[in-house]
Amino acid sequence: MTGVPRGVAIALLLIAIPAGTAAQQRGQRGGNNPFPGGTNPDGSLRPTPPLTRLFTQDAYTEYVILAPGTEQFRIRFWPEETRPGATELVNATRGGSEGSDIEVYDPRTGKPLKFTYQQQGDDPENHAIRAILPIPVPEGGIGRVLIYKTYKDPRTYMMRGDDIVWVRSLSGYRLGVVLPKGFAFLSSNVAAQLTTTADGLLKLAFANPSGQSNPVTIHARKTTADFPPLPYTDMFFEDIKTLYDLGAPETHDIQVEQSYSDFRKGDKARLDSLAYLPLQDLKVIDLDTAKAFIPVKEGKMMVAKLDVPIVDDKQSVHIKIAGTLKDSGYKVQNGDLVFDRALHGLRNTVLLPAGWEVAAVSQSGTVGMYQGRAFVALINLNAENNYRVTVHARKRTGDTNK
């Protein structure tokens, strides 16, 4: 959550994808191609569709590489289902990956969920987990599950002598990769946070800001070095995301929606973000049930009483807070719409009023259109939990939108 230090980001050495791998990828489309639009027969790139999603990285995936020679890695995965009324969540196994040792849990209660793992269609390599949700996805809520599964895939996990080589195209997720005991990184082709887990394993944590294909290659080698646990938590495990929906700039009004999961044990959820988001007309929702929480003040902070206390690591509460923010840093200045604010957490999206075009953004972000309105989506890849962002926009001449 937002009050927890996020660690120190360490960028690892960047290496090029081997020429043989690149050659195999030319002319292919989909997850095996580093460009998500794919390629034409002549090798030229196909364009991807325009960005329309306000946020990426809704799921988190951790890959724990198992012992050398097994060709296996253990996956911990938090997917979501947003369709109201849906009663199951489907998670397909990637072709060529052999799935086993599957466990599925309800993140709200920590209890096991019923599921099936079956072949889909006529392709013997096409399998899927179909997890039965605890309740149908409620209107205004989100269905989620926690999946553990083991994949065996010799195309992903191979040995070069005593060295581990792990290569996989990872699309759109917040990610972690953990080495086996007694191994250290030789190289990784992604910039990532690097830390040591409680049981002395080295772990990479990273995100792909575009939410698109991210080909990852890791090389690791046996070592006699001893790695004691370090306090740097996986900064990309945090799923907090905040939408700033801008009203007319002369009003300084911003509609704010923020959602996050809180894993801290106890029978109360601490609403830390209200310390920097003094919202009017505050609503706090349990996204697992779509029922309202009643926030109360406890000392200097606001908390919400949980129907199901959090007692183990498989549990969390999924919360949405919403309300109106009056912010003098949102205004019109010399004809520019200006949004100037310190933003917190991993993901923040600024949605402009209709009729305004993005002119400048002080931090790195992607630009898209949502229901005819421009937005800027920002992912904070720095270890610091907050940073200042300024967005400038200009109104279209003669636009009649208010």
Q: What is the CATH number of the domain that holds 213?
A: 2.60.40
CA pair distance 218, 15, nearest whole angstrom:
10
Mean pLDDT across 389-394: 98
Mean pLDDT over all residues of the chain? 88
Residue 188 lies in a domain: yes
Tell whether 143 and 25 lie within a shared domain.
Answer: yes
Residue 338 lies in a domain: yes
CATH classification at residue 369 = 2.60.40.3650
Tell whether 152 and 300 lie within a shared domain.
Answer: no
| pLDDT value of position 94 | 79
141, 287 Cβ separation under 8 angstroms: yes
The residue among 362 and 120 whose pLDDT is bigger is: 362
Tell whether 267 and 340 lie within a shared domain.
Answer: yes
Residue 132 lies in a domain: yes
Residue 253 lies in a domain: yes
Model confidence pLDDT, tens digit, residues 144-203: 999 999 999 999 999 999 999 999 988 767 899 999 999 999 999 988 999 999 999 999
Last residue of a domain, one of 187, 222, 257: 222
Last residue of a domain, one of 161, 188, 222: 222
SS3 300: coil
CA distances from 195 to 8, 47, 202, 346, 348 (A): 9, 36, 6, 18, 25
Give how many domains the chain has, as a whole number.
2
Last residue of a domain, one of 222, 254, 269: 222
Q: How confident is the model at residue 25 (pLDDT cuts 50, 70, 90)?
A: very low
The answer to pTM > 0.75 is yes
Residue 154 lies in a domain: yes
Tell whether 53 and 202 lie within a shared domain.
Answer: yes
**% of the chain with per-residue pLDDT over 90:** 71
- Provide the strand spans (E) within 236-329: 241-246, 253-262, 266-270, 280-286, 291-293, 296-298, 301-310, 317-326
Residue 184 lies in a domain: yes
| pLDDT value of position 95 | 76
Tell whether 171 and 209 lie within a shared domain.
Answer: yes
Mean pLDDT across 254-276: 96
Tell whether 178 and 303 lie within a shared domain.
Answer: no
Q: How confident is the model at residue 83 (pLDDT cuts 50, 70, 90)?
A: very high
Tell whether 62 and 137 lie within a shared domain.
Answer: yes
Tell whether 54 and 154 lie within a shared domain.
Answer: yes
| pLDDT value of position 122 | 81
| pLDDT value of position 17 | 31
Q: How confident is the model at residue 30 (pLDDT cuts 50, 70, 90)?
A: very low
Tell whether 274 and 376 lie within a shared domain.
Answer: yes
Model confidence pLDDT, tens digit, residues 304-340: 999 999 999 999 999 999 999 999 999 999 999 999 9
Tell whether 63 and 208 lie within a shared domain.
Answer: yes
| pLDDT value of position 29 | 37
Q: How confident is the model at residue 373 (pLDDT cuts 50, 70, 90)?
A: very high
Tell whether 149 and 266 lie within a shared domain.
Answer: no
228, 200 Cβ separation under 8 angstroms: yes
346, 207 Cβ separation under 8 angstroms: yes
Lowest mean pLDDT among 20-24, 98-102, 180-184, 286-290: 20-24
CA pair distance 100, 97, nearest whole angstrom:
10
Domain membership of residue 90 as a residue range: 19-222
Residue 9 lies in a domain: no
Tell whether 142 and 195 lie within a shared domain.
Answer: yes
Residue 344 lies in a domain: yes
Mean pLDDT across 251-270: 97
